[in-house]
Structure 1
Amino acid sequence: MVSEHAAAQVLVASNRGPVSYALEENGELTAKRGGGGLVSGLSAIGDSEAALWVCAALGDGDREAVRRGVGEPGVRMLDIDERVHADAYNGIANSVLWFVHHMLYQTPLEPAFGPEFRAQWASYETYNRAFAEALAESAAGGAAVLVQDYHLALVPGMLRELRPDLRIGHFSHTPWAPVDYFRMLPDDVSEQLLRGILGADRAAFLTGRWADAFSDCCVAILGGTSGTRIGVHGLGADADFLRERSRRDDVEERLVALREQIGGDRKVVVRVDRTELSKNIVRGLQAYRELLATRPEWRERVVHVAFAYPSRQDLAVYRDYTASVQRLADEINSEYGVEGWTPVVLHVKDDFARSLAAYRLADVALVNPIRDGMNLVAKEVPVVSDEGCALVLSREAGAYEELGEDAVVVNPYDVTATAEALHSALTMPLAERAERTKRLAAAATSLPPSQWFLDQLRALGN
């Protein structure tokens, strides 16, 4: 990789970068490396190509690092005004675009696009322009630029105007809203978002369903996709990493602790999610409560291990949702729990090693989002599972397109049907469960993160 001052041949742009900085009490900065598909992908390029990751400074530590000139080779961190970033990230990306694409609005009350929205939208434009200018400045002639996600939907169009020589791709990690829902946005904004992405040579999505929805919006609102190619790349689980990481000592320790919490020779239903509104954790708990109510034979014979890690707690609606999850888990335990059996084991502190331990011991994995771009948990559990695991999967998850044939599929809004699906999954014969798990794991790992990234790069003609 190269420094931010050299001309890069391959560039990635995303809100969050591969490294973050913490400012210690003594004034020192400590760096923490991130993981994920993009990190794996850039690593797969190797040192033979000049690559650069352009990202935002997200906290005080990041901003201080930029001011001091501290940085990692191959990373350019942008110190965008804090108020602009807050408006663009929380005001527009997370509170509008995320809600539209995941169809989360309570439409009798929201959205209402007035002066506050317009002020935040101006910040979103400013934020995207900062990325476009940094990419234009840092890219070598004819370089390939891969722009990531809904935070940066305007960047391709802006960058195209600044540097028509570049090969630009945009990848959406979320679903894409159907036409009627997308049209809730103000007309000029919906057009601007579509034209922004159509500034790319190629717009890519996690599934054919989301790609088709984007194309439908372009046709309905703009009359077509203006020659931009549309692609699909279904991000898979990193099997080698997961299998190695899930056998480390810290995971083994947490496995022992979880087994103690579960107690006895009980079946285990596992879910691992952020407390994100689209993840549908509350209805999942309601379905588990209905299972215990309608099939009393499962009382004291099953435990629901639910990891609901806090997300976006700076937004009131997310804080309220997190509280609802905790409240419902407490109600179930109060209603059905007896000495030696806690029906719901809920953890809200993020712990990756503990998540992997839960993957390993799961008899059933519950993945029931209202709507999800992909959902990697659905792909990771079958890879890590010790004894094979039945997957209860929402048909609204992007992963359904690849895994639906071997999962127990549910309508995420149907609590009663989800309770029945849990029963079916819990009573699935072990041989069938093992066979399904093999097929799920094979499908889940067919496009590992490094390959997912390189395929996009090749599709741009690199």
Structure 2
Amino acid sequence: MVSAHVDAAQVLVASNRGPVSYAVGEDGALTAKRGGGGLVSGLSSIGQRADSLWVCAALGDGDREAVRRGAVEPGVRMLDIDPATHAAAYNGVANSVLWFVHHMLYQTPLEPSFGPEFRTQWAAYEAYNEAFARALADGAADGAAVLVQDYHLALVPGLLRELRPDLRIGHFSHTPWAPVDYFRMLPDDVAEQLLRGMLGADRLGFLTGRWADAFTETCVRYLGGTSGTRIGVHGLGADADFLRERSRRDDVEERLVALRERVGEGRKVIVRVDRTELSKNIVRGLHAYRLLLAEHPEWRERVVHVAFAYPSRQDLAVYRDYTAEVSRVAAEINSAFGTEGWTPVVLHVEDDFARSLAAYRLADVALVNPIRDGMNLVAKEVPVVSDEGCALVLSREAGAYEELGEDALGVNPYDVAGTAAALRSALAMPVEERAERTKRLAAAGTALPPGRWFADQLAALSASAPADT
């Protein structure tokens, strides 16, 4: 049987970022740091099989030095792609074009503008994907299962299919998929190349039915259909056991004490934890909080907004500007409303996972208001960890809304007044109602933890008939 063959076969994963990164110390010694996140947890769930392989890019000088020394850990192959090629593919195309398209971030009167510079970057994106396809083809045993991850590697399935038609190939999109009319901003040949590249897979996975349907509609409009490639939905959930154990460690307890001191006795806490990613909508969230304080002065000195905004993609000017705007608006709110004994916004911009967990535990309200998000694990994690239960204010444009919307307070992410009203309702929610909602949110948010999420994809890939390519 096909499923038995694939279940027993070698498993390969391909992603831009791998499960480990390396740094070179002053003494020249290499140190390894384990990655986090659902993908790493998911791969770990298949066990320490001798034949599994994770193919990723060498992202920094430490990674490249590890490749040169042959010091990369077993089961991982890092590709030392020319740094200029990687930068053009990663920043020029993946993060500045594909991410912007799928998250609908363009200011269309001025952008995008696809001229000669883009064509040079697109050639780098092709070369980057070709390097991954060749590495997978070289590293895969007969009949191996290959799971390719995300928009960075959209061309890999088609390229790999040409090199190794014997392989079972899957691709998973961790982002939303753009509505077809927005996707059509891309040059026609590039759009078609992306779709045909993905349709080289036997099976494509998406985080929600909404994104899967948008992809299918795009294929119908451009190509007349999905060419026999199977489409599936796997809504990545939070790892409840890990979160509950990790959130009770000493370093989290220490940060919890410090946060409580910053907040002050008896005050409600609105928590958000995000990267300063344009799609996360942090600035509008701050504006909504300011409107709450302005229109409902009874909440002044009774609530604190704990906002963790960790810098992201600071090599791109638009992200640096956005990060600066987050800090500016937070300072403006504190200047306008703060008193000697009350700081309305407690903003942290240094990434600290233990402090994030401490904030989760302290949350009375979680604010998750992205413009657009493939899933959003924070929305699923906070209800699991919150000590007293929390109300969730959740954008209807987050993928997580499909699973959590019934027990969250849904908001239009562009509606600052509506978000302020939802924050007020969340703060005033009766304790009993908040506790019941939290239980249901935690159950829904952990229904497909990372290990099962990954295993389900493998099982579905093994059960799929080969793509008609």
Q: TM-score range by the shorter chain?
A: over 0.9
The within-5 A match list for 1:88-107 is 88-107=89-108
Q: 1:140-179: CA deviations, max 9, x gaps?
A: 1010000000000000000000000000000000000000
- 1:8/1:52 contact within 8 Å kept: no
Q: Who is 1:214 aligned against? A: 215
Q: Who is 1:131 aligned against? A: 132
State TM-score, norm by structure 1. 0.98
Q: Who is 1:384 aligned against? A: 385
Give the SS at the match of 1:145: strand
CA distance in 2, matches of 1:330, 1:357: 23
- Compute the displacement of 1:37 (Å): 2.0
The within-5 A match list for 1:425-444 is 425-444=426-445
- 1:255/1:354 contact within 8 Å kept: yes
Q: Who is 1:450 aligned against? A: 451
Give the SS at the match of 2:99: helix
The within-5 A match list for 1:350-389 is 350-389=351-390
- 1:8/1:138 contact within 8 Å kept: no
Give the SS at the match of 2:22: strand
- Compute the displacement of 1:38 (Å): 2.3
- 2:50/2:75 contact within 8 Å kept: no
CA distance in 1, matches of 2:185, 2:158: 22
Give the SS at the match of 1:42: helix
The within-5 A match list for 1:57-76 is 57-76=58-77
- Compute the displacement of 1:40 (Å): 2.0
Change (3 A) 1:447 1:365: same
Q: CA RMSD in A?
A: 1.0
Q: Who is 2:118 aligned against? A: 117
Give the SS at the match of 1:461: helix
- Compute the displacement of 1:220 (Å): 0.3
- Compute the displacement of 1:317 (Å): 0.1
Structure 1 consecutive aligned stretches of length 4 or more whose deviation exceeds 3 Å: none
Q: 1:174-216: CA deviations, max 9, x gaps?
A: 0000000000000000000000000000011000000000001
CA distance in 2, matches of 1:124, 1:226: 24
- Compute the displacement of 1:41 (Å): 2.2
Q: 1:334-362: CA deviations, max 9, x gaps?
A: 00000110000000000000000000010
Q: Who is 1:166 aligned against? A: 167
CA distance in 1, matches of 2:61, 2:50: 32
Q: 1:399-443: CA deviations, max 9, x gaps?
A: 000000000000000000100000000000000000000000000
- 1:37/1:453 contact within 8 Å kept: no
Give the SS at the match of 1:428: coil
- 1:42/1:51 contact within 8 Å kept: no
Q: Who is 2:243 aligned against? A: 242
Q: Who is 1:43 aligned against? A: 44
CA distance in 2, matches of 1:109, 1:48: 50
State TM-score, norm by structure 2. 0.96
- Compute the displacement of 1:218 (Å): 0.3
Which amino acid in 1 is paired with 2:103?
Answer: H
- 1:297 lines up with 2:308 in the alignment: no
Identity of aligned residues (%): 85
Which amino acid in 2 is paired with 1:234?
Answer: G
- 1:10/1:49 contact within 8 Å kept: no
Give the SS at the match of 2:357: helix
Q: Who is 1:276 aligned against? A: 277
Q: 1:70-128: CA deviations, max 9, x gaps?
A: 11110000000000000000000000000000000000000000000000000000000
Give the SS at the match of 1:366: strand
Q: 1:5-59: CA deviations, max 9, x gaps?
A: xx97100000000000001111111111112222222222224562100000000
The within-5 A match list for 1:269-348 is 269-348=270-349
CA distance in 2, matches of 1:118, 1:80: 19
CA distance in 2, matches of 1:35, 1:253: 22
CA distance in 2, matches of 1:281, 1:346: 11
Q: Who is 1:407 aligned against? A: 408
Which amino acid in 2 is paired with 1:292?
Answer: L
Give the SS at the match of 2:225: coil
CA distance in 2, matches of 1:114, 1:430: 56
Which amino acid in 1 is paired with 2:108?
Answer: T
Give the SS at the match of 2:144: strand
CA distance in 2, matches of 1:390, 1:430: 10
Q: Who is 2:181 aligned against? A: 180
- List gaps (5 residues or longer) in structure 1: 1-6
- Compute the displacement of 1:262 (Å): 0.5
CA distance in 1, matches of 2:178, 2:39: 24
- 2:236/2:449 contact within 8 Å kept: yes
CA distance in 1, matches of 2:413, 2:98: 21
Q: Who is 2:26 aligned against? A: 25
Q: Who is 1:86 aligned against? A: 87
- 2:269/2:364 contact within 8 Å kept: yes
CA distance in 2, matches of 1:175, 1:440: 22
CA distance in 2, matches of 1:49, 1:364: 45
- Compute the displacement of 1:274 (Å): 0.2
CA distance in 2, matches of 1:327, 1:284: 13
CA distance in 2, matches of 1:42, 1:189: 31
- 2:9/2:143 contact within 8 Å kept: no
CA distance in 2, matches of 1:120, 1:41: 32
Change (3 A) 1:108 1:254: same
CA distance in 2, matches of 1:152, 1:163: 17
Which amino acid in 2 is paired with 1:69?
Answer: G
CA distance in 1, matches of 2:430, 2:45: 41
CA distance in 2, matches of 1:130, 1:29: 25
The within-5 A match list for 1:147-162 is 147-162=148-163
Q: Who is 1:349 aligned against? A: 350
CA distance in 1, matches of 2:26, 2:452: 41
Q: How many residues align?
A: 456
CA distance in 2, matches of 1:373, 1:182: 16
